[in-house]
Structure 1
Amino acid sequence: MTVVTETEARAVRRTPPPGRPRRKISRESAAAWILVLPFVLLFLAFTAGPVLGSLGMSFTDIKQRDLRTPFSVNGVGFGNYVKAFEDETFRKAAFNTAYFVVLGVPLTLVVALAAAVLLDRGVKRFQALFKVGYYLPVVTSIVAIAVIWRFVLAPDSGLLNTVLGWVGIDGPNWLASKTWAMPSLIAMAVWRNFGSAMIIFLAGLQGIPQSVEEAGQIDGAGSWQRFRYLILPLLRPTILFTSVTTGIGYLQFFEEPFVMTQGGPLNSTISVSMYTYNQFGFGNYGLATAMAYILFVVIAVITFIQFRLLREK
Structure 2
Amino acid sequence: MSRQTRAGIAFTLPIFVGTLLVLVVPTIGALLLSVTDFDIYALADLHDLRFVGVGNYVELARTPLFWRAVGNTALMAAIGVPAAIGTSLVVALLVNGATLRWKPVWRLLLFAPYVTTLVATALVWRYVLDARTGLLNYALSLIGIPPVDWLGDPRTSIPATLIFIVWKAFGYNMLVFIAALATVPQDLYEAARLDGAGTWARFRHVTLPAIGPALLLAAVLSVANFLQIFTEPYVMTHGGPAQSTVTVMYFMFDQGFTWWNLGMASAVAVLLFLAILLLTGLQARLGKRYEWL
Change (3 A) 1:157 1:80: same
Task: Indicate the residue corresponding to 1:95 in structure 2.
Answer: 71
2:271 equivalent to 1:308 = no
Shift of 1:198: 0.6
Task: Indicate the residue corresponding to 2:262 in structure 1.
Answer: 285
SS at match of 1:269: coil
Change (3 A) 1:143 1:50: closer
2:256 equivalent to 1:297 = no
Task: Indicate the residue corresponding to 1:185 in structure 2.
Answer: 161
Change (3 A) 1:132 1:213: same
Q: Could you give the per-residue CA deviations for residues 94-145 of structure 1, whole angstroms, max 9, x where no partner exists?
A: 1110011000010011111000111112553111111111111101112331
Shift of 1:66: 0.6
Q: Which moves more between the two structures, 54-63 or 148-157?
A: 148-157
2:104 equivalent to 1:136 = no
Shift of 1:38: 4.7
Q: Which moves more between the two structures, 164-173 or 241-250?
A: 164-173
Matching residue's letter, 2:278? V
2:196 equivalent to 1:205 = no
Aligned length: 289
Q: 2-side partners of 1:147 and 1:290: how far apart?
A: 31
Task: Indicate the residue corresponding to 1:121 in structure 2.
Answer: 97
Task: Indicate the residue corresponding to 2:46 in structure 1.
Answer: 70
Matching residue's letter, 2:24? A
Q: Could you give the per-residue CA deviations for residues 172-204 of structure 1, whole angstroms, max 9, x where no partner exists?
A: 111111100110000111111111111101111
TM-score (normalizing by structure 1) = 0.87
Q: Could you give the per-residue CA deviations for residues 73-95 of structure 1, whole angstroms, max 9, x where no partner exists?
A: 22111111111121111111111
Matching residue's letter, 2:139? V
Change (3 A) 1:283 1:203: same
Shift of 1:50: 2.5
Contact 2:30 2:270 survives alignment (8 Å): no
Matching residue's letter, 2:270? Y
Change (3 A) 1:36 1:188: closer
Q: 1-side partners of 2:7 and 2:108: how far apart?
A: 43
SS at match of 1:176: coil
> Which one of 200, 214, 229 corresponds to residue 253 of structure 1?
229
2:200 equivalent to 1:224 = yes
Task: Indicate the residue corresponding to 1:107 in structure 2.
Answer: 83
Change (3 A) 1:40 1:169: closer
Unaligned runs of 5+ in 2: none
Shift of 1:266: 1.3
SS at match of 1:174: coil
Matching residue's letter, 1:303? T
RMSD of aligned residue pairs (Cα, Å): 1.8
Q: Which has the larger radius of gyration?
A: 1
> Which one of 169, 172, 185 corresponds to residue 145 of structure 2?
169
Shift of 1:148: 2.6
Shift of 1:45: 4.0
TM-score (normalizing by structure 2) = 0.92
Task: Indicate the residue corresponding to 2:33 in structure 1.
Answer: 57
SS at match of 1:108: helix
Q: 1-side partners of 2:272 and 2:146: how far apart?
A: 39
Task: Write out aligned runs for 1:260-279 (5 A).
Answer: 260-279=236-255
Task: Indicate the residue corresponding to 1:7 in structure 2.
Answer: none
Shift of 1:306: 1.5
Change (3 A) 1:306 1:31: closer
Q: 2-side partners of 1:108 and 1:191: how far apart?
A: 8
SS at match of 1:242: helix
Q: Could you give the per-residue CA deviations for residues 52-86 of structure 1, whole angstroms, max 9, x where no partner exists?
A: 12211101111121124335522111111111121
Q: Which runs of 4+ in 1 moved over 6 A?
A: none
Contact 1:175 1:184 survives alignment (8 Å): yes
Shift of 1:154: 1.6
Contact 1:137 1:192 survives alignment (8 Å): yes
